[in-house]
Every structure is written in C-alpha cells, then in structure tokens.
Homo-oligomer: A and B are copies of this chain.
Amino acid sequence: MTTTTAEPPTDSLAPAGRTAAGRVLAVLGAFDYQHRLLSLSEIARRGELTLPTAHRLVAELVSFGALERGHDGRYGVGLRLLELSALAPRGLQLREIAFPFLSHLHRTTGGNVHLGVRDGSEVVYVDTMRSRLRHPITSRVGDRWPLHATGTGLVLLAHAGQDVQDEVLSAPLERFTPKTVVDPGELRRILTQIRRTGVAVAHGQITLPNTVVAVPVLAISGEVTAAISVVVESERARPRELEIALREVSRAISRSLKAANGVHTG
C-alpha cells in the first residue's frame, strides 16, 4: 500500500509508519494512572504527535465522548469509554455477573476481593473490592500484574497453555518481596500443585503481611475464564475456610455465566 500525496498534510508530520488509527490510539495511550489529566501539549508530547494533529484528534475524541475537557482545560478519559468498556465480554460484563457473589464474599471474609482475567502474560483486574483502610494495596479495576506474583495470576498461569507458561517462566520474574517466588523450577511445581488442588494459596508475595487464596472460574466451555481471590492479613488468615467460600462463589458465577449464555468468555 503506497501512501501518496493524497494523505492529509498532518500525517506527514507524524512519526514515520504511524497509521491514522495508530495516532488516535496514541492520544488515548497518552493517559495512564500518573497522567489522568493532560493538557493538549502534554497529549501531543506523550503521544509523539504534532500539536495540530493532537488538536484535531482530541477534538474528534471529545466529540465522540472518548475524552472530556475539565474545568481547568485539561483532558481526561470520557464516559463514552466507560460505556464501551461495559460491553467488554471479559470486562465489566463479567464483573456485572460476578458482582453479587463477590460482594457477598467481600462482606463475609472482610478481605480484599479480586476478579482477574489473563491478558498475555499479565492478569488484569476486572473488579476489586477493597476493605476500608486495611491492606494498603492499590489494586484497582484495570490494573495489571505479572501472573507469577498474584493469586489470581498464579491460577490463570496454571491453567494457561504450555506456550504461555514457557514464555512467562523463561522471562525474568519480578520480585516484589523477599517471599515472591522467582525461581522457574519452584514456580513450575507450584503451578502443578494449583492444577492438582484447584486452589492457589500464597503468603507475602506482593505485600509481606498478606495471604491470598485464589480459585479459577470456569466458562460454559469448562475452560478457566477468570480467577477470583481474597487477600487477608496472614495472621488472621484461615486459608481452608477462604478456599471453601471461594469455591462456592466460583460455582455460583459459573452458573450465572451459563444462565447469561451468549456471553463470550473465551
């Protein structure tokens, strides 16, 4: 495909090889947790766009509702993206189905509750419920963590294809605490055990004083589509009781997934 003079002039100013769609996504990609509100020039700089291009794209994204302009003139992510993300089969829709059960789990265990799905070699939290003030973990909806270090991640890794496991285990494994398991051999044994027992229990892998218990959630197909976990302070943790509660919630979510058939939970 040849890009000739027919292209709009602004395109020639963009980094070589970037497509029009790429530039739109570069605007969106300029936002992250440390950069939730950006001025036009910050968007241009972070998205590696010229100011006129950024100006034009931001205006279109605002008119679509994907971005919003705040009182101070800076831009943030708009409600239209919330609407769209609510359609994500593995996102808010899964959350919607799981919510009443996770809420119950949150209430009865008093721990932090997570609902995660695998995206490549990471787990993405589709829902998190934090207990007020205790457990200073900043896990939010949309957060990503490496699979090897979190409860939900370990469950998802244990049930991922051999190729995913090989990829994760052959790459450097980040250490979050002295207790984080970063030895590939030991991790492999842990994954085998998770598959055998159907539950992951880990102590202090991300934050030293905490214990996590996690179990898989099965899709209609019988495949592992998500994982749920509860994080509590290790000193008051009763892993066996948490496991029973988690299994019950997992079954309830699976039943609801079945009832809401047509949901793509691949």
Contacts and interface: CB of A to CB of B under 8 A. Distances in A.
Interface of A: 1-2, 4, 6-9, 11-12, 19-25, 28-29, 31-33, 36-37, 56-57, 60-61, 64-66, 68, 70-72, 74, 76-79, 81-93, 95-96, 99-100, 103, 106-107, 117, 119, 124, 126, 129-132, 140-144, 264, 266
Contacts of A144: 83
Q: State the majority secondary structure of interface residues on A.
A: mixed
A91 B85 CA distance: 11
A106 to B, nearest CB: 7
8 contacts: A6-B9, A20-B20, A28-B66, A36-B87, A65-B119, A72-B266, A79-B91, A79-B117
A28 B37 CA distance: 23
A79 B19 contact: no
Nearest to A25: B64
B103 A89 contact: no
Contact of A106 (B4, B86, B103): B103
A81 B74 contact: no
